[in-house]
Amino acid sequence: MDIFSYDFMIRAILVGFMLGIIIPLIGVNVVVKRLSMIGDALSHSSLAGVTIGLFFGFNPLLGAFIACLVASFLIEFIRKKSKFFEEMSISIVLSFSLAIAGIMSGLTKNSSNLSSFLFGSIVMISDMEFYFTIAIFLLVLIFMLIFYKDLLYLSVDQTSAELSGINTKLINSLFTFLTALTVSIASRSVGTLMVSSLIVLPVASSIKLTKSYKGLNLLSVLIGLITIELGLFMSFYLDLKPGSTIVLLNCILYIILTIFRRGK
């Protein structure tokens, strides 16, 4: 069977292409700021939003986005209030989201759609979700191009960036908003249990090969694209779960690089 003879697979490949670019771009800035666990917190927040959407009968994707947005700004708020224990904010939000998701999933009578959000269903993307992905893709790219130098400065030293006149509050707020958007749509495509891995793993592999900010962005995107598209082809011909296959490929690549580039 030819993969390109199916419209749903062509759409999945296009969605994978867009996510393969924007997820690593978001991931680079998350990892450089030493907030790798934020992907876990937001992905579990999206799951809470999905269960709330299913319970109240509105679009689960909208629930995932709202939950991610609230969680991301809540993390920033707690971080500012607890400067010496910044990582604690992520654990608090993650725990709260898990509790909400657990309670709401138990109250939802028809939770059959929940599994598609847990492990992703990139081949079942609807028209609305496809156009939503395109919009997020364009927004993230425009943001990264406009604020590239500012993001680089912020990743090195936020205090110095503030003293140099960079509007750090605006940039951080926009980045938080776009991260929430990206995680919410990625949760639908690759799964809430997988999206945090896609934020971190391509960047972790790239760190083994380059140390520059520019190189990190380029390599992370390249790895993201290759693993997502290869994962889609493998899942189609081997009848595997797309999200799980994509994450497994990223894990294998990271292990290989770790073995052959020890100390890097």
* Residue range 148-171, pLDDT digits in tens: 988 888 877 777 777 788 888 888
Domain that holds residue 229: 3-260
pLDDT number for residue 84:
55
DSSP, collapsed to helix, strand or coil, labels residue 258 as helix
CB 39 within 8 A of CB 184: no
Q: How far apart are CA 131 and CA 150, in angstroms?
A: 29
Q: How far apart are CA 143 and CA 179, in angstroms?
A: 11
Question: What CATH number is given to the structural domain containing 91?
Answer: 1.10.3470.10
pLDDT number for residue 1:
62
How many domains is the chain built from?
Answer: 1
pLDDT number for residue 185:
85
Q: Which residues of the chain have pLDDT under 70?
A: 1, 82-87, 110-113, 115-116, 119, 262-264
Residue 154 in tokens: 């912020």
Nearest partner of 250 among 240, 262, 229, 238, judged by Cα: 229
* Residue range 209-249, pLDDT digits in tens: 998 899 999 999 999 999 999 999 999 999 888 888 999 99
